[in-house]
Amino acid sequence: MTPTGRVPLGRTGLSVTELGLGLAPLGGLYTDVSEQDARDAVETGWDLGVRFFDTAPLYGFGRSETRAGAALAGRTEFVLSTKAGRVITSVPDGGGQDFWAGVDPAVAPVFDFSAAGIRRSFEDSLERLGVDRIDVLHLHDPDDHLDQAVRDAYPEMVKLKEEGLVAALGAGANSGAVLTHLIERCDLDVVLLAGRYTLLDRTGEPLLALAAERGVAVIAGGVFNSGLLADPKPGARFDYAQADGELLNRAIALRDLCEAHGVPLRAAAIQYAQRHPAITSVLVGVRSADEVRDAVAMAAHPVPAELWAALA
């Protein structure tokens, strides 16, 4: 894998680096991140040649977008993706913070896949990012709103593209079935599959086959499955919750197998996804300059064919 090599993002006319930075952690995922650490993460990625950045209104209830926009201001020739389907709304009694630390307690994300909601979400994102257009706009986690996403949200996204405000239309979800449903009903350019094509979970394989058949580019996210494949130890998370004993043991066995071949588990986790012919780019979530440097190093780490054979 050449982490900073540029590749075409399907039929979009955009080109992305094979490694992209997922900026959810910059919003304070699990633990708070300072303004300086957030800026250092993005700037380090830039200095190392990464030119693909992904964010969303949900991430830190707008904080990730604001920080991404500030760090990328004045730069050119990169690809920026964000998402729509949640509107950040003032709440009188304090927002439910869930996984987010350091967020404004007076706001909370609210699902809204109406045409007006998509438009408002998009316009709010433009303001936070400090840009006048978006490269890739994804429907975000429409799992429980699929009918409305197809009927109302997607047509509004098409209008945004026709107005020249968006270059490519996509959808992002933690479910291959959800993305399959959308590809079959909407003319998407790209999908972001999170956590469903990894060393621990390959349930996204049918979606990858369909995307390849339809000419839809695929971005792989969540390749560490919320951290278990980055550092398997008691208390590590799998899909946002503490991993059970069986999953932990599987991850430890994978780590031991990788290390027997002289390869860190993180390197195999990143490159495993990139090896699939349907996957264009892999997003790795980062919260610091050190994590960015590690992600770039792991994406480029040599992996012998014998390890891939053993993992298969």
Q: What is the pLDDT of residue 98?
A: 76
H or E segment and range at residue 293? helix 289-300
What would the pLDDT profile of 273-312 be if each residue is shown by its tens digit?
Answer: 999 999 999 999 999 999 999 999 999 999 999 999 999 8
Q: What is the pLDDT of residue 142?
A: 98
Q: What is the pLDDT of residue 95?
A: 64
Q: What is the pLDDT of residue 56?
A: 98
The class that CATH gives domain 6-311 is alpha beta
pTM check: above 0.95 = yes
Which one, of 49, 48, 80, 51, lies nearest residue 64 by Cα? Answer: 80
Give the Cα separation of 82 and 289 in Å (integer). 21
Q: What is the pLDDT of residue 111?
A: 97
Who wins on pLDDT, 1 or 83? 83
Count of C-beta atoms within a 10 Å radius of residue 8: 12
Beta bridge partner(s), residue 84 = 139
Does 161 participate in catalysis according to the annotation?
no
Who wins on pLDDT, 91 or 18? 18
Q: What is the pLDDT of residue 91?
A: 87
Provide DSSP, 142-207.
-GGGHHHIIIIIHHHHHHHHHTTSEEEEEEEES-HHHHHHHHHHS--SEEEEESSSSSS--TTHHH
Buried-state track 228-264, b at ≥16 Cβ within 10 A, e below 16 = bbbebeeebbbbeeebeeebbebbeebbebbeeeebb
What would the pLDDT profile of 211-250 be if each residue is shown by its tens digit?
Answer: 999 999 999 999 999 999 999 999 999 999 999 999 999 9
Catalytic residue (one of 30, 32, 47, 83): 83
Catalytic residue (one of 54, 135, 141, 189): 54
Contact 238, 226 (CB under 8 A): yes
Provide DSSP, 178-193.
HHHHHHHHS--SEEEE
What would the pLDDT profile of 131-164 be if each residue is shown by its tens digit?
Answer: 999 999 999 999 999 999 999 999 999 999 999 9
Q: Please state, rounded to an integer, the average pLDDT across all residues of the chain.
A: 97
Contact 44, 296 (CB under 8 A): no
Does the pLDDT at position 33 exceed 80?
yes
Does 59 participate in catalysis according to the annotation?
yes
Does 54 participate in catalysis according to the annotation?
yes
- Percent of the chain exceeding pLDDT 90 equals 96
Contact 97, 37 (CB under 8 A): no
The burial class, CB within 10 Å (0-12 / 13-18 / 19+), for 144 is exposed
Catalytic residue (one of 37, 59, 112, 189): 59
What would the pLDDT profile of 73-126 be if each residue is shown by its tens digit?
Answer: 999 999 999 999 999 999 877 666 678 999 998 999 999 999 999 999 999 999
Q: What is the pLDDT of residue 93?
A: 73
